[in-house]
Amino acid sequence: PFACFSVGRSLWLEGRLELSIEWFDRSTDLSPNFAQGIYNRGLVGTMVGDVERANIDLAMALELSPLDPLAYAMVASRALIEVQRSDFEAAAKLGARAAMMTGAHQHIKLIAAFTAQLAGRKPDALYWLQRARATDPRLSSAVFFRSFPFSLTRGRETIEKCLRDLGV
């Protein structure tokens, strides 16, 4: 399972998202309780716009491993799902929750910033943006999308526009 997971992760990092999902499927077929494989399949599903399956995967990963060191990322990924569903209030709540969790890094804080902006919470958006930039002053939308190589979907367009509005 871990070898298949590693291939899937490598393909994701190369931007070959659809192919990476196949490898995460192989990983979880071999080990149905492998929370990291399920989480990564959910994250990549989020980036390709398959939000219904991704939401199920992310919920399952959190259920299997509620104290997971990457729980912040699982919650942030669910915020990205809500952005794609245009439920910006839910996205902002999940984004802030993820950013306050142990291990949250600059990209998670940036998710909190743009989800707050989308929900019309400008002061919260600026707060999280400042926190993200305090960690990485060179943070940009290009850096964000290099780490989260979203397919060309409406969700990506929404995030890109919001990041521009925030000056990122």
Residue 109 has pLDDT above 90, yes or no: yes
pLDDT value at residue 96: 98
pLDDT at 115 over 90: yes
Contact predicate 45/51, CB 8 Å: yes
How confident is the model over 23-64, as pLDDT tens digits? 999 999 999 999 999 999 999 999 999 999 999 999 999 999
Cα–Cα distance between 23 and 122 in angstroms, integer? Answer: 40
Q: Is the pLDDT of residue 79 over 90?
A: yes
Phi, psi for residue 15 in degrees, rounded to 5 = 85, 10
Residue 15 pLDDT grade (very low, low, confident, very high; cuts 50, 70, 90): confident
**Positive/negative CA dihedral, 148, 79, 3, 48:** negative
Domain boundaries, the chain: 2-165
Q: Cα separation of 116 and 62, whole Å? A: 23
Q: Which three-class secondary structure string do you get for 116-165?
A: HHHCCCHHHHHHHHHHHHHHCCCCCHHHHHHHCCCCCCHHHHHHHHHHHH
Max intra-chain CA distance, the chain: 46
Q: Yes or no: is domain 2-165 CATH 1.25.40.10?
A: yes
Q: For residue 31, what is the DSSP state?
A: -
Query: What is residue 101's DSSP assignment?
Result: S
- pTM, two decimals, is 0.94
Residue % of the chain over a pLDDT of 70: 100
Mean pLDDT taken over the chain: 96
Residues 130-142, mean pLDDT to the nearest whole number: 95
pLDDT of 35 reads 95
Residue 82 has pLDDT above 90, yes or no: yes
- AA letter at 10: S
